[in-house]
Structure formats: structure tokens, C-alpha cells
Structure 1
Amino acid sequence: MRIVIAEDNVLLATGLELLLTSFGHEVAEVAGDGEGFLAAVDRHRPAVTIVDVRLPPEFRDEGIRSAIKARRVHPGLPVLVLSQYVEQTYASELLSSSGGGVGYLLKDRISRVDEFLEALDRVATGGTALDPDVVAQLLARQTQPLSTLTRREREVLALMAEGHDNATLAKKLSITNNAVHKHIGNIFAKFELTEPDAGHRRVRAVLTYLEAR
């Protein structure tokens, strides 16, 4: 699939490009700043984008701002954001930008090639991929509405936040698909998510999870 990368670190950008091309993907362009990224997206209309949170000139939140802007111009544009540290606000803001097709991973996750590529594929197909370390930090904060969930429901929600489907949830937790469905239904009820679209409710549940900090 065609990919646009926004990364100012030449070594990391080169490594990403080599990794992705070795697995049959096409890196259409590597941009070094937010403006270059937006222009590259317009030119290439990629299947998915990879964006560093911090880009020139100030190395604060230029990357995430550019990603959100790109998704406004190109609704549904899949964006996988990379960050050096856990920055929970950025994860929440990106997911709030519109539906699925978004991911937030720590850069260390790239070295786990299979996990990284799986997350990238999930984002490209409209799913979500949230770094387990971000999930762990959020789960440690026992605030409303998380405090209303049982231990098992928190485990299910944490895996949902990482972007796993029901079959994977069942496998990871060693429970049946019916049990997963029941736990997710309980989460929706406790979060008062009544939309008929289950996919949208999953995203809303994850957003509620992220915002409980």
C-alpha cells in the first residue's frame, strides 16, 4: 500500500522506509515538517500515513496538528502517529478527530516489527491501534467512568483501545466470543452508548476511556 511519512529524523525516516518497502509497501514520500506532509498527502492520496507527534519548527505538537488537519481535508485518512513518550492528550485528540483509521504508538514499538506492521494494517483498514503502554497508564487511573467497570470489563476495554477485534479479545483473555460480546455490551451500557452502530460505539467507548484521566 502507498504510504506518506512525516518524520524529521533522517535515520528513523530511512529505517522506516527500508522496513516498509521490504514488506512490499510503497513509501510515496517522506516529509520533514507539517506543511510538507499536508502537501504530500494532497499529491499522493496515500492508503495510510505515519506521522511523528513533534515536527519542526518548534517540536511540540506540529505533527498531531497536521494529522488532524489532513483528516479534515481528507475525511477518513488513516493516520498512525508515533511518539517518543506517552502523551495522553495527543492520543485522545487524534481519536476525537473523526472515527477510526487512527493509531498512536511509541517509537520503541517499531522494533517489534510484527506488532508494528499489524497496527499499521489495522489503521489502514479503518481500525484503531493504541499503544499498550498508553493503555496501561490510563487504566491505572481509577476515575469515573472507569470505576464503574468490573476488572474483566476493564481488561476488555483496554484491548479494545489497542484495536483488537472480538475474536482476538476472546483468545487473549481465554474466554468465549459470547462472553466478550456480553462484556462489551455491559461497557456500552455503563458508558450510556446507545448508538445502533456497534463500530461507532467501540470508538466512543475508547474515547470515554481516554478522556477518563
Structure 2
Amino acid sequence: MTEADQAGRPTEPTEPGGVTDTAGGKGDPRRRRRIAVLLAVAAFAYLLDLGSKLLVVAHLEHHDPVEVFGTWLQLDVIRNRGAAFGIGEAMTIVFTVIAAAVIVAIARIARKLYSLPWAIALGLLLGGAFGNLTDRLFRSPGGFEGGVVDFIATPHFAVFNLADSAIVCGGFLIVVLSFRGLDPDGTIHKD
């Protein structure tokens, strides 16, 4: 939460260490840089996910699993219409709506983004959400019901993809930032 002056008006966000941002507003170069980082991380995560899915579908789908590290790590292509562990396969449209809602929420948070770690975390979430949303929209049978391409298989765990990994890493980073008291606007709060 931003600080307020003696008259109760909100002041600009402060950097960790108490430095006040005096530029503020939409034209603030620091905020634009944070949004650029968010978008760059999102684009990188999305393109890496999309490229990996295109490769595994073209070369590994309908084949036996490829052992990378014995049975500890394999590449095994499946189409997942549900959530993690294949849960909720009949609710594909719901997962599509949730992914779209995450994208909208990130866009809203980005309007007040001054924190570099938050930009990275939100970029990972955004790239991962777009990666899986692309599958839901454009993979068979399409129309918000497409199956997500999962291909990273470990023993006793779900088969997942790079978008899932980006979402988990971004979510973990958000939890860490929240526990440390760092808000997306760059302020530090103590609870």
C-alpha cells in the first residue's frame, strides 16, 4: 500500500530502502521498464512453451516415451483436457475462462507495477497462461475445449509442460515476495 502525506493524499510508491518515486504516472520510465520486463519474460516463456510443444507433437506424439534420464525423466506426449493430474477433464471451458481471468488480472496489476521481481513473476504467469490458453483455443477439438500438450514425465507425478513450469515458478515467486512484504507497486509492508 502506498504511503499518504499529512493531508491523507497518497504519495508515490517508494523503493525498498525508502527512496520515493517522484516521476509517477503512466509516463514513468521506471514503470515502463518493469512492464517491458514483464512482457519480455512472458514472451520468452510463451515462445519456449509453444516451440517445445510444436517439436514434441511433430516428432514424439504417437511414439513410445523417450528416456532422458532413465525412468526419472521422460518425454511422453499426452493431450490433457483437464487440469493438473488430468483432474476435471469435463471442465475444459472452465479452465479456459480461468486462464483468461488470470491474464486480465495481470493486466490490471501491471498498471501499478514498479517492482522488478513482481514483473518477472507476473511475466512467468502470463507466458504460462497464454501457452496453455493457446492449446485450449487452437488444439483439437478447438473452441475453448482443446487438449493441452503435456510431455515432461517424472515418476509418480503428473505429466506437464513448460507453460505449467512457468506458472508454478511465477506462483512460487509471488508467494515468496508476499511473505517478504514486497507489493507490486514497489512498497514494502509489514504485517
Could you state the TM-score of these two structures normalised by the residue count of structure 1? 0.21
Larger RCO, structure (CA 8 Å, separation 6 or more): 2
* TM-score, normalisation: structure 2: 0.22
